[in-house]
Amino acid sequence: MPSNLLKTTVAAGLMLALSGCFDSSTENTAESEGAEIHLAMMQPPRTGLSPLSDDAFKLSRWRTAETLVELNPQAEALPKLATEWKQVDDLTWQFTLRDGVTFHDGSKLTAVTVVNSLEKAFAAAPKPRIIDGIEWQVRALDDMRVEIKTEFNDPLLPSRLSSPQLSILAASAYQDDGRVNPTRTGSGPFILTEINGATSAKLERFDDYWGEKAKVARVTAEYVPDGFARAAALRTGKADVVEAVPVSQLAMIDPELLHEVSMPRTNTLYLNNSSEVFSQLEMRKIAAAAIDREQIIKTVYENRADKAEGLLGPALAWAAPLRPDASALEQGKANGEKIVLGTFTDRAELPEVAVLVKQQLESAGFNVELDIREYAQIENDALAGNFDIFMLSRATVLDSGDPVAYMMSDFGCEGSFNLGQFCSEEVDKALTHADLQPLGEARQKATIAAEQMILGQYAAIPLLHERVIQGESLRVQNAERDPRERLLVTEFTDVN
């Protein structure tokens, strides 16, 4: 069967299953009750939608949980639940809270609430990435002012507070056993009313929101890890907004429904520096020289991606001019060393990329085995270092609008997301130096210097920078196309 016909047939079969996921009883909501919007999300939650995990970004994209600070498109810190802040001295910041904020459980935003949420984040294991390796002392100055003391002069502190993993929730969210339940405990324009495991979540408009009242009355978010099924949901109108439409499906979808977003996201091969093979620098160099990025971009992404010259891509326009020209690697040859390459199915292109990478590495003399599963099923093995190579699509400014936090998390000796089991005293010093620099050119130069050290040790092989395709039905207005993946539907999103 031809490959295109096979994909169409598979998608059709998946659509039959998918039609049972979306609740048809709510598709034609009575006008008097308000409109509803249906989302097809790429990945199911990993931790029951705990805001202290990456699930926090779903809560942010649905506008149910809010942070003290938000970022504008230029990654500048702007007021949210905090209306203003000031640095009193090198180690002390004070934040004034927004008056009149009510949580979904009816309680009020106070300094005590903020201190509680931030202290729970610091007590979490693992900590949210943005505070990985740092400590704060947080206290209430009065009912509406919070003080944060740091261990170093941290110019990034307001931006750190924009991370969805530092969302402020009502005290009722935090359970005695350490778990966090975000149901009816946020402060955003939508109330999270139902968490249906790895199947769906439901939200309703919050009429007492401190800002502008949401235009739609309900949001239903279905988790659809299969890319073909997400594309089918868009084509058939089962979903109004669809995350990450696979490139392979674009030809079958009305172009008016597709919106390309250049992402600060890099597809990267993390080489396990503790594995028998890639603990050897020479083996890492051979693997790096074997990779043909142009073939991957042309074959899998149909040229809808940018070749990676470093860890940071064109969405960070300042990075490339600061980066030295890369020197070509001379291709070496492996001697049949067996390696396991792991990746996941949630991003539809990654399994196809894995097949090409396998072929390229085998041409260089490696014996490659593939292990491809859904992300929720493979993440623990990846973090435990059970692969020689793990391929990940990684957001590089996810937490603060600044890439240093991502680099410390992924390449610091104590990094909480160190898939490559990489540790270098030289790199740690460079990252610490970068993190101490003020925002602007000095920080940017220090960041690229650290990037070059990481790449110089072949801790990772950046492949390409994604341009994610977001699908939107023609009835949708003002859905967010957010490169940082923090917003999707907001109070301003509407449907015809």
Please give the residue that has the higher pLDDT: either 26 or 335. Answer: 335
439 and 349 together in one domain: yes
Contacts (Cβ under 8 Å, ≥6 apart) of 104: 64, 170, 184, 185, 186, 187, 191, 192, 206
pLDDT given at position 105: 98
300 and 425 together in one domain: yes
String of DSSP letters for 141-172 = EETTEEEEEESS--TTHHHHTTSGGG-B--GG
* 128's tokens: 């949210």
Give the per-residue SS3 of 240-265.
CEECCCCHHHHHHCCHHHEEEEEEEE
418 and 485 together in one domain: no
pLDDT given at position 22: 56
Report yes or no on 259 lying in a domain.
no
C-alpha 35/C-alpha 185 separation (Å) is 23
The CATH number linked to 214 is 3.40.190.10
In this prediction, residue 448 has a pLDDT band, given cuts at 50, 70 and 90, of: very high
The CATH number linked to 378 is 3.10.105.10
400 and 448 together in one domain: yes
Give the per-residue SS3 of 77-113.
EEECCEEEEEEEECCEEEEEECCCCECCCCCECCHHH
Residue 25 has pLDDT above 60, yes or no: no
How large is the angle between the packed helices 425-436 and 441-456, nearest 10 degrees?
A: 170
Mean pLDDT over 330-358 rounds to 95
pLDDT given at position 75: 82
Mean pLDDT over 119-141 rounds to 90
Residue 328 has pLDDT above 50, yes or no: yes
pLDDT given at position 320: 93
The CATH number linked to 86 is 3.90.76.10
78 and 202 together in one domain: no
Question: Could you give the C-alpha distances from 386 to 158, 273, 398, 416, in angstroms and in order?
Answer: 36, 11, 25, 16
> To the nearest whole number, what is the mean pLDDT of the chain?
91
Give the total residue count for the chain.
Answer: 496
Place of tokens 């693997």: 287
Report yes or no on 297 lying in a domain.
yes
Q: Contact 431/411 with Cβ under 8 angstroms?
A: yes
- Put simply, whether the predicted model's pTM sits higher than 0.85 gets the answer no
The domain total for the chain is 3
Mean pLDDT over 22-37 rounds to 55
Give buried/exposed letters for 163-184 (b at 16+ CB in 10 A, else e).
bbbbbbbbeebbeeeeebbbbb
Q: Contact 287/361 with Cβ under 8 angstroms?
A: yes
Residue 27 has pLDDT above 80, yes or no: no
Mean pLDDT over 104-124 rounds to 97
205 and 230 together in one domain: yes
84 and 232 together in one domain: no
In this prediction, residue 465 has a pLDDT band, given cuts at 50, 70 and 90, of: very high
Contacts (Cβ under 8 Å, ≥6 apart) of 51: 59, 65, 164, 165, 167, 169, 173, 180, 182
Last residue of a domain, one of 173, 196, 227: 173
Report yes or no on 28 lying in a domain.
yes
Mean pLDDT over 229-251 rounds to 95
Q: Contact 179/50 with Cβ under 8 angstroms?
A: yes
**Phi-psi region at 333: left, alpha or beta (left = phi > 0; alpha = psi -120 to 50):** beta
Look at the alpha carbons of 201, 67, 180, 402 in this order and tell me if their dihedral is positive or negative: positive
Mean pLDDT over 444-464 rounds to 97
In this prediction, residue 1 has a pLDDT band, given cuts at 50, 70 and 90, of: very low
Report yes or no on 344 lying in a domain.
yes
Mean pLDDT over 450-477 rounds to 96
154 and 233 together in one domain: no
pLDDT given at position 400: 81
Residue 427's domain spans which residues? 264-466
pLDDT given at position 13: 46
**Phi-psi region at 166: left, alpha or beta (left = phi > 0; alpha = psi -120 to 50):** alpha
Report yes or no on 398 lying in a domain.
yes
Question: Could you give the C-alpha distances from 288 to 209, 293, 335, 359, in angstroms and in order?
Answer: 51, 10, 16, 13
Mean pLDDT over 327-342 rounds to 93
Among the residue ranges 128-137, 254-263, 457-466, the one predicted with the least confidence is 128-137
pLDDT given at position 15: 43
Report yes or no on 15 lying in a domain.
yes
415 and 350 together in one domain: yes
Last residue of a domain, one of 141, 173, 205: 173
Last residue of a domain, one of 115, 141, 173: 173
C-alpha 132/C-alpha 202 separation (Å) is 31
pLDDT given at position 343: 98
169 and 316 together in one domain: no
Mean pLDDT over 66-86 rounds to 93
271 and 318 together in one domain: yes
Report yes or no on 195 lying in a domain.
yes
Mean pLDDT over 215-241 rounds to 96
Over its C-alpha atoms, the chain yields an Rg (Å, rounded) of 23
- Long-range contact set of residues 19-25: C-beta below 8 Å, sequence gap at least 24: 19/238, 21/199, 21/200, 21/222, 21/224, 22/220, 22/222, 22/233, 22/238, 22/239, 23/220
State pLDDT tens for residues 280-323: 999 999 999 999 999 999 999 999 999 999 999 988 889 999 99
My answer on whether omega of the bond before 189 falls inside 30° of 0, hence cis, is no
Helix or strand or coil: residue 480? coil
227 and 287 together in one domain: no
Among the residue ranges 179-193, 231-245, 434-448, the one predicted with the least confidence is 434-448
Q: Contact 284/271 with Cβ under 8 angstroms?
A: yes
In this prediction, residue 452 has a pLDDT band, given cuts at 50, 70 and 90, of: very high
Please give the residue that has the higher pLDDT: either 95 or 437. Answer: 95
Report yes or no on 257 lying in a domain.
no
